[in-house]
Chains A and B, each alone.
Chain A
Amino acid sequence: MAVVGQLAFTGLAIGGVYALIALGIVLIYRATNVVNFAQGEFCMLGAYALVFLWQGAGLDYFLAGAVALVLMAVLGLLFALGLYYPLRNRSFLPVIIATIGASIMFQNGALAVFGPSPEKVRPVIEAGPTGGVTLGGVFFDYQYVVILGVTLVLVVTQYAFFEYTLLGKKMQATSQDKDMARLLGIPVTLMIALTFVYSTVLGGLAGMLVGPIYFVTHKMGAVLGLKAFAVTIAGGFGDVRGAVVGGLSLGVIETFGAAYVSVAYKDAFAFLLLLVFLLIRPQGIFGEKVAEKA
């Protein structure tokens, strides 16, 4: 029983990481109809920003985290202005290719600046020799608990933001029909820029949270980003709930699959899930909001 509990907890926690990154992909997709393949790299850059400010510049850990998030926001703005804005009137393909290009650039840029050696970053809660607690034979890593907590809080906040605030509704309107939104006087470009800023911050935060578990390397975002993409497809592209449910499910499927089917084929489960959804339910678990209304 403890084994099942351990696998379930680890699976959910890793799923929480996928969900956080998938949330960023979903938001940008909703705003621009474009899949941002650099989302995993935001994760890596956020983690490096934290390492740099905390270890390199010697700031307090939490202050370093806050400053790193601000830097991520600036990066998000630059990303929107430098990459999305010039290509906004083209079809979605050039933008997607540009995000892939950006992802390669970020990875190699990080390699050039920070070097290939992995960096260690401290967990949010520093307690005990193992950084966690064992209850009923199941080890609860505090960092995983924090990740699950943050995911939950962000999902609730995000849901409330989009459903109940004017700004959220403007952003939603922009994502559903840009021309209509513009006619209604919504500053579409600003809304899109804001979406990029928020998604970048979200990606950076995810990176800072997984840093202590995955360690910080220039490659850390690559697999995470791809898995989050699979999650987005499974969850339904336009849907925040889909990202969360899809992320948590993938984490659990992966971990149990590794334990009871094959560890070596663990990464294949994510892409198997993607294939199954593409074949059977291409609109994902929750489908797209626009499609529902159309």
Chain B
Amino acid sequence: MKGSLRTLAGLLAGVATVAAGASPTAAQPKGAPIKIGQIVSTTGEGAEAGRYMRWGAELAVEQVNKAGGVKGRSLQLVFEDDKTTNPGAVAALQRLLEDKEIAAILGPIRSTQIQALLPTINEAGLPVMIGGSNYGLTHSGCRWVFRTRPHDGFSAKVIAKFAVDDLKFQKVAVIHSTDAFGSGGRDLVVQELRTLGHPPVLVQAYNNGEKDFTAVLTAVRQSGADGLITYMTFSTDVGIMAKQIKQLGIKATWLGSPSITAIDGRKLAGDALYGTYGVTDFHVDASAKSREFAAAYKAEHGNAPDLYAAAFYDAVLVLAEAMKKAPDLRPDSVRTAILGIRNFWGSEFLYNFDENGDGLDHYHIVRNENDTIKLFKTIRVPRS
């Protein structure tokens, strides 16, 4: 009894402290928080990336709330696990939609999952911030998806152009995963290479989670390719393939999609990835805003952020900005406000939303120099 009294006293003291902290002098947000749902992989292959996505979003929410929130209210994240599967993502979205207080949703980063979600998103009519870079996601007539990463149409253009103009590839081999991201990337990059007069000499597919790339790599060797372009979804696959490329003595210069720069793959591959090039939408040194984000993230989690964290940090910032400008929080008002965002700096780069819901149009070319990912150059693609 004595114990529970003490607990009660403690609780009251706690409440009093919180109440004192929330006094009108400190411009702290009041009222019911604005709920933002986040579909995130807590389990399955994408759990590692999922953790970074969550950390990115949490950091932005923390900063927005510290700065007074949105319309005098604080932001609050609600998480649902997508198990890194498409059915899991659909179930997670449905669980979030059951909560009628949720004003917007942060979607997955994997294109294949977003593809699976599109019908439900269309029906729900709620803004969903997505990280998947498959071109079709924002070009299939869904009004409610907004992308805080540049799409693969841009990366394909940047990759093909850099491969031909700067790296001077003569014979290009393309390796891609079989999912929506990989096959979509393949289609676009092959088309760009053809336009530039360098059609690939070899195109090879593999399934996510592949452990042995001997078959793919012997084909690369036989093709005599001097340049390798990859669209790989998971960085662990990149790590495994890099090791085998080194073992089989393949000398082709490697230019990869963003996963080639991710921490996981680099940890596994070690020096096998040194000297490779990659495109990435996020780099710590890209802008003042990205440096500021990286510093805050590092202070909280001890290591540098990657694109997973950056995309959803920005997603929250963009949402908060739109919600501030919108007259109210109705989905249509928020949507119009997002589409109206111009010259807004996020950690990724400069946001200018177009009518399809694409916010970005840049890609950074980076180089792995002894495990440091150095910014090589940033290329902005004119939107057509």
Contacts and interface: CB of A to CB of B under 8 A. Distances in A.
Contacts of B221: 3
Interface string A31-69: 000000000000000000000000000000000000000
* Residue among A117, A131, A267 facing the most chain B CB atoms (10 A cut-off): A117
B214 A255 contact: yes
Contact of B212 (A111, A117, A255, A264): A255
Q: How large is the interface on A (under 10, 10 to 19, 20 to 34, 35 or more residues)?
A: 20 to 34
A213 B44 CA distance: 20
Given A14-B212, A264-B205, A120 B268 contact: yes
B268 A116 contact: no
A120 B206 contact: no
B188 to A, nearest CB: 19
* Residue among A108, A118, A213, A219 facing the most chain B CB atoms (10 A cut-off): A118
Interface in B339-383: none
Interface in B35-54: 43-45, 47-48, 50-51
Interface string A240-258: 0000000000000001001
Contact of A266 (B215, B218, B236, B249): B215
B246 A118 contact: no
B204 A263 contact: yes
The DSSP consensus for interface residues of chain A is mixed
B264 interface: yes
Nearest to B43: A111
Contact of A263 (B43, B47, B206): B206
B218 A259 contact: yes
A141 interface: yes
B287 interface: no
B311 to A, nearest CB: 18
B47 A264 contact: no
Nearest to B206: A263
B215 A255 contact: yes
A211 to B, nearest CB: 11
A144 to B, nearest CB: 10
Given A3-B222, A120-B268, A259-B219, A108 B43 contact: yes
B251 interface: no
Contact of A116 (B51, B178, B215, B267): B51
Interface in B211-242: 211-212, 214-216, 218-219, 221-222, 236, 239-240
Nearest to B213: A263
B333 interface: no
A215 B218 contact: no
A111 B211 contact: no
A141 B207 CA distance: 23
Nearest to A138: B248
B215 A132 contact: no
B246 A263 contact: no
A6 B207 contact: no
B101 interface: no
Contact of B246 (A6, A130, A213, A217): A130
B240 A7 contact: no
A215 B242 CA distance: 13
A3 B51 CA distance: 41
The DSSP consensus for interface residues of chain B is helix
A217 B247 CA distance: 22
Interface in A85-126: 108, 111, 115-118, 120
A139 interface: yes
A19 B210 CA distance: 19
Interface string A129-164: 111101000010100000000000000000000000
A14 B244 CA distance: 14
B209 interface: yes
A290 interface: no
A130 B212 contact: no
Contacts of B48: 115-118
B42 to A, nearest CB: 9
Contact of B218 (A6, A129, A131, A267): A6
Contact of A139 (B204, B240, B247, B268): B247
B264 A117 contact: yes
A223 interface: yes
* Residue among A7, A215, A217, A223 facing the most chain B CB atoms (10 A cut-off): A215
A172 interface: no
A139 B268 CA distance: 20
A14 B207 CA distance: 17
Given A14-B212, A259-B219, A118 B247 contact: no
A7 B215 contact: yes
Contact of A6 (B45, B209, B214, B239): B214
A171 B218 CA distance: 46
12 contacts: A3-B218, A3-B221, A117-B267, A118-B48, A118-B236, A118-B239, A120-B267, A139-B249, A214-B240, A258-B216, A263-B204, A264-B207
Interface of B: 43-45, 47-48, 50-51, 178, 204-207, 209-212, 214-216, 218-219, 221-222, 236, 239-240, 246-249, 264, 267-268, 271
Given A118-B264, A264-B205, 17 more contacts: A3-B218, A7-B214, A14-B212, A111-B43, A111-B47, A116-B47, A116-B51, A118-B236, A118-B239, A130-B246, A132-B247, A134-B249, A219-B44, A258-B215, A263-B207, A263-B215, A266-B206
